[in-house]
A = this chain, B = another copy of it.
Amino acid sequence: MSARPEARGVQITARPITAKAFAPFGDVIETDTVPPQMINEGLCRRFSDLARFDQTGGRIAMSLFQAELREMPYRCNLLERHPLGSQCFIPMSQAAFLVIVAPDEGGRPGPASAFLATNDVAVNIARNTWHGVLAPISGSGLFAVIDRIGSGDNLEEHRLEEPVFVITTP
């Protein structure tokens, strides 16, 4: 019970997201990772099959999330994971958003990492991966989300003992 709880916590810097660095946690969906197929009489490039949708039971569905824009430094005190399915976030504006993830350590999240997604990428968080909630820092805050809908408890939450403060490099 500190009088200045905000003075506690860990500061981490969000790294620009890359497919390689993010691989332990899921997929970065971008046009750089596969060669395109030309379709529509040469007027469209198709980059196929970029996310690993991974569901147990239920079905894959599409929803919209309208999230409030967050201010930096971003204070994160809650991580969650979805044991029954992956969750893919597709920004519907040219937004920047934070993706905070952590490895599992015996049923609890280990040390958190933060990534900054920009430049027209979507992010698919792997099933059962600890992550922070959707945190756009620019754009409209509107995202399409592809995740599992069905019966069963698909949400596990873990409140951090000390918050994580995320900053970005200038």
- Whether A44 and B63, one on each chain, are in contact in the complex, defined by CB atoms closer than 8 angstroms, is no
Residues on the B chain within 8 Å of A39, using CB: 65, 133
Q: How far is the CB of A86 from the nearest CB of chain B, in Å?
A: 11
- Alpha-carbon distance A91/B90, docked complex (angstroms): 9
Chain A binding site: helix, strand, loop or mixed by DSSP? strand
- A39, chain B: closest CB distance, angstroms: 8
Which of B51, B66, B70, B92 makes the CB contact (< 8 A) with A122? B92
Q: How many copies does the complex hold?
A: 2
Interface assignment of A113: CB less than 8 Å from any CB of chain B: no
Contact A47 B64 (CB under 8 A): yes
Q: How many residues of A contact B (CB 8 A)?
A: 46
Q: Contact check, A68 vs B92: say whether CB atoms are below 8 A apart.
A: no
For the complex, what is the distance from the CA of A2 to the CA of B149, rounded to whole Å? 54
Contact B144 A48 (CB under 8 A): no
Residues of B within 8 A of A88 (CB): 62
User: Can you name 19 A-B residue pairings with CB atoms under 8 Å?
Assistant: A29-B62, A31-B66, A36-B66, A44-B67, A45-B66, A46-B63, A47-B63, A47-B66, A48-B61, A49-B61, A53-B61, A60-B60, A62-B122, A90-B92, A92-B92, A92-B94, A93-B120, A94-B140, A146-B146
